[in-house]
Amino acid sequence: MGFYYDFENADAFATGAIGQPGDRTFYLQVRADGRTVSVKCEKQQVAALAEYLRTMLADMPDTSKDIDNMSATLQSPVEQDFVLGSVGLGVDRPNMRMVVQLEEMVLVDEDDEDVFDLLDESDDDSDPSTVVRVLLTPSQARAFCDTADLFLNAGRETCKWCGSPKNPAGHACPRFN
C-alpha cells in the first residue's frame, strides 16, 4: 500500500547527490512540519525537473524574494522513502505557486501487470504507489534550480572529443578506436 503526502507549505524542496562523481546517487527531498520525504532519482530527472521549473518561472511574475539556497540542500541523514517514477508539474496561478507531484516507480512484469498486485493476495483496489505533492513558491523553485545546477555540473569531466564522461581511472574514447 502506498502513501500520499501533501505539502502545501513546504519548508524545503531540495536536491543533491551522495557519493563520488561517477558513482553518485541523486535525491529529491521535501521537508515540512518535522516530516522529511526523500526520493531517490536519476541525474537526468533532476536536470529535467530544473529545466521545466525554469520554464514555468519565466511565465510567472518576478516576486524578487530573497532565495534561500540552504532550503534547497539535502538534510542528513538521507533515508530513501521510494524511487521516483513519473513527475507531474502544474501552476496554481491564484496562489502564485508551482505544483510538483512525485510518483513512486511501479514495477511491472512482462505482461504489464503491476508486480505488487501479483504479490498482494487481498482484493484491495488501493494504489500501491506513493505520491508526494508539493506546492512551491517561486523563491523555492529558483533555489531548487540553482542547487540542481551545482550538483549537475559537479560530476565527471567530459571528453572534448566524444562528450562522454571521463572516469578518474582513464577514458577509452570511441573516437580514437
Sketch the domain layout of the chain as residue ranges. 4-106+127-176
Assigned C-alpha cell, 47: 536536470
* pTM confidence score: 0.79
The number of CA neighbours under 13 Å toward the Cβ of 32 is: 15
On whether the 4-106+127-176 domain is CATH 3.30.2450, my answer is: yes
Residue pLDDT, tens place only, 57-116: 998 876 656 666 677 888 888 999 999 999 999 999 898 899 999 999 987 666 656 555
Question: What is the band of 166 on the pLDDT scale with cuts at 50, 70, 90?
Answer: confident
- The span from the CA of 53 to the CA of 32, in Å, is 20
Assigned C-alpha cell, 107: 514495477
Residue pLDDT, tens place only, 16-31: 999 887 789 999 999 9
The predicted structure's pLDDT at residue 1: 57
